[in-house]
C-alpha cells in the first residue's frame, strides 16, 4: 500500500502522543492496535483499521476481529498495512513496530518505541521491537 505522510505529520504525531500520554490501557478505546493505527492515521490521514476492529470494545471482540485478518498480530498488521514488515533498525519516527511476549504494537520515536501501558504511554528501548512497518 502506498502511504504518504501529510505535510504537518510531525506536529500532528506529537499532539497525538501528548493527548494520550496519561491514558491507561483499555480494550475498547486504548489498546495497542488503536494506538499504533491512530498514529498511522494522524501521519497519513488514512484510517487503516478494519471496521470490525474500529468498533471492538472487549478483548474477545478484538481477537474475533483480528482473526478475520490473520493468525497473529504480525499477520494482521501486515494485512492492514498492505506491506511486509522490515527490520526494526530500519524504522523511522512514526513507523509502527511490534514487540513479542506479549505481542503489542508500538510507534517509533527515533531511538525508542512508544507503547500503551497499564496506566500511561510507556517508552521502550530500540531493541525491544522484533519487526516494523514503514508508514509513508
Q: What is the pLDDT of residue 28?
A: 84
Predicted TM-score (pTM) of the model is 0.94
For 21-64, what is each residue's pLDDT tens digit? 999 999 988 899 999 999 999 999 999 999 899 889 999 999 99
| CA-angle at 102, arms to 81 and 70, nearest 5° | 40
Backbone angles phi, psi at 11, to 5 degrees: -65, -40
Assess if residue 75 is contained within a domain. Answer: yes
Assess if residue 1 is contained within a domain. Answer: no
Assess if residue 23 is contained within a domain. Answer: yes
Q: What is the pLDDT of residue 42?
A: 97
- Read off the C-alpha cell for 82: 498492505
Cα-trace Rg, the chain? 13
Assess if residue 4 is contained within a domain. Answer: no
Q: What is the pLDDT of residue 29?
A: 84
Question: What would the mean pLDDT of 102-123 be, rounded to a whole number?
Answer: 96
CA distances from 77 to 12, 19, 41 (A): 22, 24, 14
Q: Which domain holds residue 60?
A: 9-133
Burial class (CB in 10 A: 0-12, 13-18, 19+), 70: middle
CA distances from 14 to 24, 88, 109 (A): 18, 21, 10
CATH number at residue 95: 3.90.1720
As for how many domains the chain has, the answer is 1
Whole-number percent of the chain with pLDDT over 90: 90
Amino acid at each position: 500500500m502506498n502511504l504518504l505522510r501529510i505535510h504537518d505529520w510531525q506536529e500532528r504525531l506529537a499532539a497525538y502522543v501528548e493527548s494520550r500520554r496519561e491514558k491507561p490501557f483499555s480494550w475498547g478505546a486504548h489498546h495497542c492496535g488503536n494506538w499504533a493505527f491512530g498514529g498511522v492515521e494522524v501521519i497519513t490521514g488514512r484510517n487503516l483499521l478494519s471496521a470490525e476492529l474500529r468498533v471492538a470494545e472487549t478483548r474477545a471482540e478484538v481477537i474475533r476481529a483480528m482473526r478475520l485478518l490473520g493468525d497473529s498480530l504480525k499477520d494482521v498488521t501486515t494485512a492492514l498495512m498492505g506491506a511486509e514488515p522490515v527490520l526494526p533498525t530500519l524504522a523511522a519516527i512514526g513507523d509502527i513496530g511490534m514487540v513479542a511476549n506479549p505481542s503489542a504494537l508500538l510507534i517509533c520515536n527515533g531511538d525508542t518505541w512508544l507503547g500503551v501501558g497499564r496506566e500511561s504511554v510507556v517508552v521502550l528501548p530500540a531493541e525491544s521491537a522484533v519487526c516494523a512497518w514503514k508508514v509513508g
